[in-house]
Structure 1
Amino acid sequence: MEKNKTKKASVCPVAKKCGGCEFQGMPYAEQLRHKEKRVRILLDSFGKVHPIIGMKDPYHYRNKVHAVFDRDRRGNAISGVYQKGTHKVVPVDSCMIEDQKADEIIVTIRGLLKSFKIKTYDEDTQYGLLRHVLIRRGFSTGEIMVVLVTASPIFPSKNNFVKALRKVHPEITTVVQNINDRGTSMVLGTRDVVLYGKGFIEDKLCGCTFRISAQSFYQVNPVQTEILYQKAIEAAGLTGKETVLDAYCGIGTIGLIAASKAKQVTGVELNKEAVRDAIKNAKRNQTKNITFYCEDAGEFMLKMAAEDQQLDVVFMDPPRSGSSEVFLDCLAKLAPKKVVYVSCNPETLARDLRILKKKGYQMQEAWPVDMFPFCDHIETVVLLSKGEVDSKKIRVEFSLEDMDMSEFQDGATYTQIKDYVLEHSGLKVSNLYISQIKRKCGIGVGKNYNLPKSEDSRQPQCPPEKEKAIREAFKYFGMI
């Protein structure tokens, strides 16, 4: 089975041009090992990291598919993806990680353009109508939404176009025209016009039903999302007595799933459209113990702290850039007993954990989840709690002379630094090199690495490229 998967992973005809699947051609088991190691290097110093949770079938998992429309040199319509790091369109008819039905619908749309005399949009001349097509499919419901992103609200023969599309694909349940007349790289504009159906789809997740509109944020891998959110709820240890805050709540997914196990849930989100969907989702699920607010989550927490309100658990699911220090300051002032951090970027997660550690929170456990097979992104659920130590109940005896105290300072051990350098630069460094750079940076080292001056001249000196890599590791671990 693994052999077949390896073969399938290596034959994508546009792999090199697209660049979207960084692990193209790598056996899935090896992908998981690589991702787990990356998380361990970054998080092992904070607490326990569990083995990564992978997929049984890592293909065609994306329930949201985006296609860019353009023209080739001959003027023929093409559709596909932007080449990584560029605005050059790579033609794609099928993708190994995208929903297959969505790919089929996109090919059909492209085929209909000529007969309806619809021109694709050209970014240079800003001429043409169709810019993008976005397709969302409910994993459990099978409902399909087609979003046609146009440069103008004027869509000639739009009703006939929709009829022709649905004649080929009657499984489509709604069609929306999104108008994006801005000369930017943003995919969606702010205005939606429903051309067919109810204008949204529904999907079920962890026992709840969610309304998903054209601009809603909804995780793209439904199979792993169930695992991710279940793990987040389990980590919180809800018993039905807790007051919970769902920060960055979006359309209310985590908060609504947690509501059945909590006393009271509050969701906070700055996006008005998302809050509107969240309120409708609460009504759809007949959830009475949840309230949503359209506010900045940090400012909302400050108001709660000023009113001396108590929170047991905060769920936070920030974007790839991570949280802001302002938000984390507000979180610390509110001082919930537990924080469940759902991250989509282990590097920014590690950065935020260092900040939270200084504010009295300790990472208890972390669970990496592979939401994006063949891509380098990783989701991680982290449980943090207030680090309270009763010195009267703990007694530790040790001899300072027998220990290298450099292992006990804020930062990382020699092994963790070596692993990080090897992972990110491919270079192997020794304890001696690390201790040399520590001294250069003013970081204390243990007696084992403070060599007599008479022996210094005989020791090899750390090469510049390895010094640079070690310094990068120090920065990641917050040592400099």
Structure 2
Amino acid sequence: MKETKKNHSIKIEKGQTFPLTIKRLGINGEGVGYFKRQVVFVPGALPGEEVLVEATKIQPKFAEGKVKKIRKQSPFRVKPPCPIYEECGGCQLQHLAYAQQLKEKRDIVIQSLERHTKLALQKLDIRDTIGMAEPWNYRNKSQFQVGQQQNGKVIAGLYGLDSHRLIPIQNCMVQHPLTNKVSEGVQQILEDLQIPIYDERKRKGIVRTIVTRAGFSSGEVQVVLITTQKEVPRKKLLMAEIQKRLPEVKSLVQNINGNKTSLIFGEKTIHLSGEEVIQETLGDLSFELSARAFFQLNPVQTVKLYDEVKQAAGLTGKEKIADAYCGVGTIGMWLAAGASEVRGMDTIESAIIDANENAIKHGITNATYVTGSAEHWLPKWVNEGWRPDVIVVDPPRTGCDKKLLDAIKQVKPKKFVYVSCNPSTLAKDIDYLSRDYHVEYIQPVDMFPHTAHVEAVAKLVLKV
């Protein structure tokens, strides 16, 4: 009788404790190791560490665990400077020395390419991550949920890791100091005036979120109060107190969101006092930021990111550029001086209105922006005799729409510059284009120090 082959893999059970060697960081900043051939994700563990792990969640293809003991510590492990780092969950890598964070982020890009492409990575130029000289206080915007303790004290912060417990944040180390100061000031005013605070469990109350954005160059601050309804008790007094106590606030806005949703903003926005916008500058370009306008969260690194896009485009003054997912036109305007013409497109009409106004304001006469998808406009322009030499994309985390990639294959620009905020979708999209395009290099950029996020600029060149 023929003996059947035994399956030697042992299934991990919840609560089981076992030793684990951490091989690398995952895309969410967790340590990744293998136990009995099963992948295990361990938040807080670092590559090279030997840890004792307790299994907390079991999934069909992987397990999650928590560190019980570090038996061999990474030489790059540091003490997180933030006192609520382990509770908050906003950052994932404060316990890793910053120079090593940059190396691990490059490795996250490489892992994505290994997983999702057939490219020969040993021949690929994946450059060292561009970091920050001062990797703190870089975020220009905060969105803090508001809550109220039993003693009446109003708190604002983020929900804890895997929980609905609100963690009060008073002086976030990655936020611009002005956003910290103003957020704290507004929550004190709400408490002093006894404005009803939204209780998520009871679904009662009015103020649910404080959104604060600071202009790094202008020093101006915009506050958006997210409320469940239009009517707010003592609203005029609330506006007056914010103006009196917080003179930095140049724009005060109310947004109404009464829905049971994880989305911050609702559909209706009301301008309360001050200006409707605040001013911000990137390089030689200035922008007016309204409450709903998208703008990069790290202005210092945005200049470096856009300069990398300019370098990858390699402009001589003769190129026609198509700027897909253009938003308010920042990348296209950054490139316009070196191009013969820029045409941008986005499906969000309000962003296109802002983009055209921004171009007029800056005297940029060779850039125009239209509403609609790139897959609609690119073939249409080609049929009309306008063919782009360079296409630049800056898509959302989901990556490029397949129809857009097909349009790029059809249009065949000489250069394709891909700005990515998600290495996995970047790798998948590159793989899809690999028959027609050669990847010249990938440049990772650290837009969010102490988090697991990494952005990248990929330069693709048409194969001849």
Q: TM-score, normalised by structure 1?
A: 0.76
Q: Is the 8 A contact 1:206 1:230 kept in 2?
A: no
Partner AA of 2:228 in structure 1: A
Quote the residue 2:84 is aligned against.
14
Number of residue equivalences? 382
Partners of 2:462 and 2:162 in 1: CA distance: 41
Using the TM superposition, name which of 298-307 and 136-145 deviates more. Answer: 298-307
Using the TM superposition, name which of 250-259 and 155-164 deviates more. Answer: 155-164
1:92-138: CA deviations, max 9, x gaps?
11111111221111111111113322111122332111111111111
Quote the residue 1:235 is aligned against.
312
The equivalent position to 1:207 in structure 2, one of 255, 269, 284, is 284
Q: Residue 117 in 1 paired to residue 160 in 2?
A: no
> Larger strand proportion, structure 1 or 2?
2
Quote the residue 1:48 is aligned against.
125
User: What's the offset of the Cα at 1:274?
Assistant: 1.5
Q: How is 1:34-113 mapped onto 2 (pairs within 5 angstroms)?
A: 34-43=104-113, 44=121, 47-74=124-151, 76-113=153-190
Q: Is the 8 A contact 1:250 1:274 kept in 2?
A: yes
User: What's the offset of the Cα at 1:348?
Assistant: 1.3
Q: Is the 8 A contact 2:186 2:242 kept in 1?
A: yes
Partners of 2:304 and 2:313 in 1: CA distance: 14
- Label 1:257 to 1:233 Cα distance change in 2 as closer, same or farther (>3 A): same
Q: Is the 8 A contact 1:147 1:177 kept in 2?
A: yes
Partners of 2:309 and 2:134 in 1: CA distance: 22
Quote the residue 1:301 is aligned against.
378
Q: How is 1:169-208 mapped onto 2 (pairs within 5 angstroms)?
A: 169-208=246-285
Partner AA of 2:391 in structure 1: V
Partners of 1:11 and 1:129 in 2: CA distance: 34
Partner AA of 1:294 in structure 2: T
Partners of 1:285 and 1:207 in 2: CA distance: 9
* Percent identical residues: 37
Quote the residue 1:400 is aligned against.
none
SS at match of 2:392: strand
Q: Structure 2: where are the runs of 5+ without partners? A: 1-75, 114-120
Using the TM superposition, name which of 39-48 and 214-223 deviates more. Answer: 39-48
The equivalent position to 1:30 in structure 2, one of 84, 100, 116, is 100
User: What's the offset of the Cα at 1:335?
Assistant: 1.5
Partners of 2:268 and 2:214 in 1: CA distance: 21
Partners of 2:279 and 2:351 in 1: CA distance: 14
Taking only aligned residues, the RMSD between alpha carbons, in angstroms, comes to: 1.8
Q: Is the 8 A contact 1:46 1:362 kept in 2?
A: no
Q: Is the 8 A contact 1:305 1:333 kept in 2?
A: no
Partner AA of 2:257 in structure 1: N
Q: Is the 8 A contact 1:71 1:77 kept in 2?
A: yes
SS at match of 1:94: coil
Partners of 1:8 and 1:42 in 2: CA distance: 27
Q: Is the 8 A contact 2:336 2:364 kept in 1?
A: yes
Partners of 2:216 and 2:281 in 1: CA distance: 8
Partners of 2:336 and 2:162 in 1: CA distance: 41
The equivalent position to 2:431 in structure 1, one of 350, 354, 360, is 354
Q: Is the 8 A contact 1:81 1:90 kept in 2?
A: yes
Partner AA of 1:135 in structure 2: T
SS at match of 1:114: helix
Q: Is the 8 A contact 1:109 1:165 kept in 2?
A: yes
Partners of 1:45 and 1:120 in 2: CA distance: 56
Q: Which has the larger radius of gyration?
A: 1
Partners of 1:135 and 1:194 in 2: CA distance: 15
Q: Is the 8 A contact 2:347 2:373 kept in 1?
A: yes
> Larger helix proportion, structure 1 or 2?
1
Quote the residue 2:328 is aligned against.
251
Q: How is 1:339-350 mapped onto 2 (pairs within 5 angstroms)?
A: 339-350=416-427
User: What's the offset of the Cα at 1:26?
Assistant: 1.3
Q: How is 1:440-451 mapped onto 2 (pairs within 5 angstroms)?
A: none
Partners of 1:95 and 1:9 in 2: CA distance: 16
Partners of 2:371 and 2:188 in 1: CA distance: 42
